[in-house]
Amino acid sequence: MTFGEKIKEARRNARLSQDELAMKLSVSRSAIAKWESDKGMPDIQNLKSLAAVLNISLDYLLNDGTKLDLTVTREPIDLKQYGKGMKKVLKDRIVRKKYPDAEIMTLLAEEKLTAPEHTVNFLTGMLTLLFNVFPFAKALNNLDKEFYLVNSKGRQYLVMITNEFLESRELAEAKNERKFHVGKYKFTNCGPIVNA
């Protein structure tokens, strides 16, 4: 049973709707939905509150036989400090500077969408074609993200770089397949970065 399935089962056993649980935890209903569908992870305080409200232990929530990816660091970046050129090239330089002696692979990411998100995505694409509203579509699709799989000193990291920050997530289990998923993303390993 996944982390999200455990929350869902415990919430139903407590006879609470997603809205009621959200109200008790002072979070949005969409946060509860993300947690239950394994598309998001609550912070430590919300984990404690979940356990208390649902009358279950933290150990039960977190111990499902698989390791969770909880170690995440985020640091601001300034792309201008890395020279001129395409943003992808600048982001390659940033990840190489952060992990100078590591094996770094470029990842192609595809966000796993719910049915309503697919509808919005389709409509956005249609608006782009019909009315040339590319800036609006770009904002909706988060096109500023680049993803990397980094092997460094016996550890593996999933690194995301946007135009504003670098986020590193230490993976509990190595991802050695060409295609894999983490959270709400499906990834394809496209090979090592070129001359960063």
- Segment 110-158, tens digit of pLDDT: 876 566 655 665 665 555 555 554 444 433 444 688 999 999 988 899 9
Query: Do 154 and 137 meet the contact criterion of CB atoms below 8 Å apart?
Result: no
**CATH (domain of 56):** 1.10.260.40
pLDDT of residue 140: 44
Beta bridge partners of 148: 106, 159
156-181: pLDDT as tens digits: 999 999 999 999 988 877 888 999 88
Average pLDDT, integer, range 1-24: 90
pLDDT of residue 116: 65
Same domain as 20, residue 41: yes
Same domain as 107, residue 159: yes
Quote the number of domains for the chain.
2
Same domain as 78, residue 58: no
The CA distance from 51 to 60, in Å, is 9
The residue out of 62, 91, 106 marking a domain boundary is: 62
Average pLDDT of every residue of the chain: 81
What is the Cα gyration radius of the chain?
A: 19
Average pLDDT, integer, range 55-77: 73
Same domain as 156, residue 84: yes
